[in-house]
Amino acid sequence: MSQGTIGRAEAGPPPAGKKWLVTVAVMSGTFLAVMDVSVVNVALPHMMGTFSQTLSSITWVATSYSIAEILSISMAGWWSALVGRKRLYLVAFAVFTLGSILAGTAQTFPQMLLYRTLQGLAGGILTPVSQAILRETFPPRQQAMAMAIFGMGVVLAPAMGPVLGGWLTDHYGWPWIFYINMPVSVVGMLLVSTFLEDPPYLRRGIGRVDWVGIALLTAGLTGMQLVLERGQEHNWFDSSWITAGTAITALLLTSVVVWELRVRDPIVNVRVLRHIPLSVGSGVGFLFGIAFFGTTFSLPQLTQRLLGYPAYQAGLVLLPRMITLFLTMPIIGWLFNHLEPRLIIGVGIGLTYWTFQELAQLSLQVSYWNLVPIMLLMGVGVPCMFVPLSTLSLSGVRREDITAATSLYTLTRRVGGNLGYALVATLVERFSATHRVHLIKHISPLNPAYLSYQALLSARLAQVGGDPVAAQHRALALADAEVNRQAAMLAYNDIAWLFGTMFLATLPCLFLLPRRQASQPASRAPQPPSAAPAEKGG
């Protein structure tokens, strides 16, 4: 028997019925972990009153989760080798559930931050390990379908989080955004414990604990997340704190890579990035995270700030995208085996670029129904990118390296998403200021159009209020407010153009991806002596 045959015997896919039970089990964990990133956002104003915190300090409820999640995502491969994938997933699921219960019962602000950190540490394990499990649960021809199912979870969960969180907070109170995790978690843990099995090659353990790597990684990722979360608040590089933090973070993360390449049992196996499709996919995934999650943040913000939508209706702006994402993911999973995957990705990039160009043309007169077709098409374009890219990026990676590869792949997308949020918050302010400088030039007594508008507005206000002088002052204030609205709208247009350009810039990367999914190399299990003659005889 050849080594490749040994590898297949060790890690063959389970029967069809069991395959779907495993899928339900692991996707329940992934969905909850990803959803809990965004579910708290709408509840933060309510928590401010409960814990007597300011707006700036209450955001640490979200920040503490993100820092812990980013850290554990990067270490998932190491933990998987240490304790086994099934045991790791069960422990992470249990800790996540415990953190959810404790967060709902938190009586003080430090308690809430501690429990959210606990949630984040566990949630960061669930996502990459789920992807690795699905890769091995489905046979090679169904790998794209596995990534489609995974994509349905990681893409739909952030969109559902604010809607579900808002409804639960309004009807039952903010603790229920945490309690809602319990029934799903219990069912998921029962299914995992019953149907999930570790392949033999995974039970290899580690030689020694990489304490230096753990320390460098913890400090580097924590610093990076703090800079991204707090940069806008401190006006970025105008602040010596942010400048120093960025420099130290860059040094620490560079040290992580250098150190991990030298040790035998690294905490983060950066060597898997020598696999070209994984490196390319991770880079494209980073840009995908910036644009996709940046849009998830910017569109509701735009509709609330500039169009006057209530919070619930602002959340519904993303609903058409969520619907077509859900419907298109499995279709793309099927098409993967019938069309050139790189062609599908190219179509996805083109569609997504077009939708961003449409968003870049929006004005303050846009209605909800003008946004619907744009969101519907974006919901088609994103799966065309996500499913084939995830499948091709992880194809050809050794079985024992799958969890490490999915961890790095998830990490780049998650860091990109965090950068997307930070970019939107910063660029809206910077671009608005730039556009305001140009627009304010038209507010001049030398501009006949402005004088006509001002006279008409003052006359109408005087008819309502009766005082011509007060009406003129109010008309000036309204004109200034309108300039600010127009400047902000143009800023969102610029951001949409920038995100669309990011997608278009990834097109050349398609030529670095394989035309088809590569066969998975066998694991590095020792070959029995009897295998050599048998192989020669074959």
Secondary structure letter of residue 526 according to DSSP = P
465, pLDDT greater than 80: no
Same domain, 430 and 320: yes
Tens-place pLDDT, residues 401-448? 787 888 888 888 888 887 887 788 788 888 988 898 888 877 766 667
Report how far residue 60's alpha carbon sits from residue 229's, in angstroms, rounded to the nearest whole number: 9
Question: Count of domains in the chain?
Answer: 3
Q: Is residue 324 part of a domain?
A: yes
Same domain, 344 and 231: no
Same domain, 259 and 169: no
Q: Is residue 11 part of a domain?
A: yes
Report how far residue 231's alpha carbon sits from residue 245's, in angstroms, rounded to the nearest whole number: 10
Per-residue pLDDT band for 453 (boundaries 50, 70, 90) equals low
407: containing domain: 269-442+473-538
Q: Is residue 172 part of a domain?
A: yes
535, pLDDT greater than 60: no
Same domain, 59 and 128: yes
The encoded tokens of residue 96 equal 């996540």
Last residue of some domain: 190, 207, 224? 207
Cα–Cα distances (Å) from 526 to 42, 179, 396, 461, 469, in that order, read: 53, 47, 20, 86, 91
Helix axes of 211-230 and 60-83: crossing angle, nearest 10 degrees:
160
Report how far residue 385's alpha carbon sits from residue 288's, in angstroms, rounded to the nearest whole number: 9
pTM of the model: 0.75
Same domain, 8 and 138: yes
Residue 438 C-beta-side C-alpha neighbours within 13 Å: 9
Same domain, 165 and 229: no
196, pLDDT greater than 60: yes
Same domain, 247 and 288: no
Return contacts of 371-375, CB within 8 angstroms, 24+ apart. 371/299, 371/317, 371/320, 372/320, 375/317, 375/318, 375/319, 375/320, 375/321, 375/324
84: left (phi over 0), alpha (psi -120 to 50) or beta: left
Among residues 61, 127, 134, which one has the least CA distance to residue 96? 127
Report how far residue 266's alpha carbon sits from residue 230's, in angstroms, rounded to the nearest whole number: 30
Same domain, 177 and 221: no
Same domain, 397 and 308: yes
Same domain, 83 and 187: yes
**Domain harbouring 96, CATH code:** 1.20.1250.20
Q: Is residue 176 part of a domain?
A: yes
Q: Are 173 and 43 in contact (CB under 8 A)?
A: no
Q: Is residue 430 part of a domain?
A: yes
Tens-place pLDDT, residues 73-114? 878 877 887 788 888 889 999 999 999 999 999 999 999 999
342: left (phi over 0), alpha (psi -120 to 50) or beta: alpha
